């Protein structure tokens, strides 16, 4: 049990489909066969993956105590997930500019001490409008600046051209890795290293779902979820989250599922629900409303040592006496699950055993694998986002 970081449980009704099972086996075997080949989308999970940077070159940036990461979508959500989950290990002040928000930008500009702040600017294309807007608005671009890192593709787009003209530290974003799949490549690993995270541990368990008993959970889940997707009965995935440290990870996962599977009139709508708070707002709808939801329940097995003590002088029922907050949350979670079972509502459980780099890397790799394989079984391209690209093109045309 010492080496188990996450307990996976699947309570979606069995739906064996021989055709899907055969197709799954073919896709799974191809992934295992090609994972060590560069230019493969899953190569970032491989132990043989080579980064487009050297640790010795990044050491010059370790001195900065404040880091501002600028990006959008997959270029920043992974770093936010790492920061949120491992915050207790991070001794630096890390800020994220992940939207066009004038008030937040103003606040950061007022607080920043430019020479003592490291700016990490990330965009796969190098032309993301929001990222460029924030980068220019920060007014930090100077020739030979020693406190700016740019991560983008080598192309004729803005970020790469700026890095060359202004002689800024540049790291190439691999062309074959899309933004929402890039967290375990340079995009997530560079900020993680500079936050002080052990990047070797973050990448330690990435192949666990391909090589041990976890692969049966992956297979079972993919086939069941693909079957539900084809039926179009269950349209919503509710991330029901009892672990605050996973909040940003779930936003990363939301983008991964929505952009990868939301095509041709199909897909799941992933929503994030905070528990136990939402027991008192959305639970009535979840349990007694439309039967179109699958629940992914995220919880933790860790127990608080500190307990509630109710004095005898307080004349109240003492069912809370000598209970920790984690015990109370666990009781609420178990009551929720009991009700789901009674009402025959499908759900899955992900129970966190350890808050460490290995656990988070394992979560990232699991959902990348599951989402892509579902897309392939559903006969869509899980790697593109054609509707998003159309909006980007219209936006640029309106700004010209």
Is the distance from CB of 184 to CB of 365 less than 8 angstroms? yes
- Burial class of residue 276 in the structure, from the number of CB atoms within 10 Å of its CB (0-12 exposed, 13-18 middle, 19+ buried): middle
> Is 110 or 163 the better-scoring residue by pLDDT?
163
Asked whether the predicted pLDDT for residue 289 surpasses 90, the reply is yes
Residues 356-367: tens digit of each pLDDT: 999 999 999 999
Class of CATH domain 6-29+203-377: alpha beta
Residue 315 confidence (pLDDT): 61
Residue 156 confidence (pLDDT): 94
Residue 314 confidence (pLDDT): 64
Q: What percent of the chain has pLDDT over 70?
A: 97
Q: What percent of the chain has pLDDT over 90?
A: 81
Residue 43 confidence (pLDDT): 94
In angstroms, rounded to a whole number, what is the distance separating the alpha carbons of residues 255 and 249? 10
Rg over alpha carbons for the chain, rounded to the nearest Å, is 22
Asked whether the predicted pLDDT for residue 178 surpasses 60, the reply is yes
Which of these ranges, 34-43, 51-60, 181-190, has the smallest mean pLDDT? 34-43
User: What's the CATH superfamily of 48-200?
Assistant: Glucose-6-phosphate isomerase like protein; domain 1 (3.40.50.10490)
> Is 84 or 305 the better-scoring residue by pLDDT?
84
Domain ranges of the chain: 6-29+203-377, 48-200
Task: Report whether the peptide linkage leading into residue 276 is cis, meaning its omega lies within 30 degrees of zero.
Answer: yes
Q: Taking residues 108-135, what's their average pLDDT? A: 90
End-to-end Cα, the chain, rounded Å: 59
In angstroms, rounded to a whole number, what is the distance separating the alpha carbons of residues 67 and 89? 15
3-state SS of the chain is CCCCCEEEEECCCCCCCHHHHHHHHHHHHHHHHHCCCCCCHHHHHCCCCCCCCCHHHHHHHCCCCEEEEECCHHHCHHHHHHHHHCHHHCCCEEEEECCCCHHHHHHHHHHCCHHHEEEEEECCCCCCHHHHHHHHHHCCCCCCCCCEEEEECCCCCHHHHHHHHCCCEEEECCCCCCHHHCCCCHHHHHHHHHHCCCHHHHCCCCCHHHHCCHHHHHHHHHHHHHHHHHHCCCCEEEEEECCHHHHHHHHHHHHHHHHHHCCCCCCCEEEEEECCHHHHCCHHHHHHCCCCEEEEEEEECCCCCCCCCCCCCCCCCCCCCCCCHHHHHHHHHHHHHHHHHHCCCCEEEEEECCCCHHHHHHHHHHHHHHHHHHHHHCCCCCCCCHHHHHHHHHHHHHHC
Q: Do domains 6-29+203-377 and 48-200 have the same CATH topology?
A: yes
pLDDT band at 343 (very low <50, low <70, confident <90, very high): very high
Average pLDDT across the chain, whole number: 93
Tokens 């090609």 -> residue: 34
Asked whether the predicted pLDDT for residue 1 surpasses 50, the reply is no
pLDDT band at 324 (very low <50, low <70, confident <90, very high): confident
C-alpha torsion 54→358→85→371, nearest 10: 90
Asked whether the predicted pLDDT for residue 108 surpasses 90, the reply is no
Residue 211 confidence (pLDDT): 84
In angstroms, rounded to a whole number, what is the distance separating the alpha carbons of residues 234 and 388? 24
Residues 52-65: tens digit of each pLDDT: 999 999 999 999 99
pLDDT band at 323 (very low <50, low <70, confident <90, very high): confident
Q: Taking residues 291-306, what's their average pLDDT? A: 92
Asked whether the predicted pLDDT for residue 350 surpasses 50, the reply is yes
pLDDT band at 310 (very low <50, low <70, confident <90, very high): confident
**pTM score of the predicted model:** 0.95
Asked whether the predicted pLDDT for residue 112 surpasses 70, the reply is no
Residue 320 confidence (pLDDT): 81
The DSSP bridge pattern shows strands 169-172 and 66-70 to be unpaired
């Amino acid at each position: 049990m010492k080496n188990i970081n996450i307990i996976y449980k699947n309570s979606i009704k069995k739906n064996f489909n021989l055709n899907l099972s055969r197709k799954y086996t073919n896709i799974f075997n191809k992934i295992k066969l090609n994972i060590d080949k560069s230019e493969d989308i899953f190569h970032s999970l491989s132990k043989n993956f080579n980064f487009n940077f050297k640790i010795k070159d990044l050491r010059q940036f370790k001195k900065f105590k404040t880091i501002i990461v600028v990006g959008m979508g997959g270029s920043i959500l992974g770093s936010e997930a790492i920061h949120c989950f491992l915050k207790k290990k991070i001794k630096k002040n890390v800020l994220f500019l992940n939207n066009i928000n004038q008030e937040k930008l103003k606040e950061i500009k007022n607080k920043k001490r430019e020479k003592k702040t490291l700016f990490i600017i990330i965009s796969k294309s190098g032309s993301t409008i929001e990222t460029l807007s924030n980068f220019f608005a920060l007014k930090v671009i100077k020739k030979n600046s020693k406190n700016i890192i740019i991560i983008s593709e080598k192309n004729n787009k803005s970020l790469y051209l700026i890095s060359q003209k202004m002689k800024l530290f540049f790291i190439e974003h691999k062309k074959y890795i899309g933004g929402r799949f890039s967290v375990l490549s340079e995009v997530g690993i560079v900020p993680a290293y500079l936050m002080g995270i052990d990047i070797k541990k973050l990448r330690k368990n990435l192949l666990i779902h391909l090589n041990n008993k976890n692969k049966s959970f992956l297979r079972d889940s993919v086939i069941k979820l693909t079957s539900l997707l084809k039926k179009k009965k269950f349209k919503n995935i509710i991330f029901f989250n009892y672990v605050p440290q996973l909040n940003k990870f779930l936003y990363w996962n939301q983008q991964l599922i929505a952009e990868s599977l939301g095509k041709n009139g199909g897909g799941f709508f992933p929503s994030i629900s905070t528990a136990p708070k939402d027991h008192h707002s959305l639970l009535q709808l979840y349990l007694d409303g439309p039967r179109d939801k699958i629940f992914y329940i995220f919880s933790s097995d860790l127990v608080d040592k500190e307990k509630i003590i109710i004095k005898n002088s307080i004349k109240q029922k003492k069912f809370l006496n000598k209970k920790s907050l984690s015990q109370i949350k666990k009781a609420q979670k178990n009551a929720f699950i009991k009700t789901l079972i009674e009402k025959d509502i499908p759900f899955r459980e992900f129970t966190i055993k350890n808050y460490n780099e290995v656990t988070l890397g394992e979560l990232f790799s699991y959902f990348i694998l599951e989402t892509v394989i579902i897309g392939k079984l559903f006969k869509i391209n899980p790697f593109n986002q054609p509707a998003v690209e159309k909006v980007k093109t219209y936006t640029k045309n309106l700004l010209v």
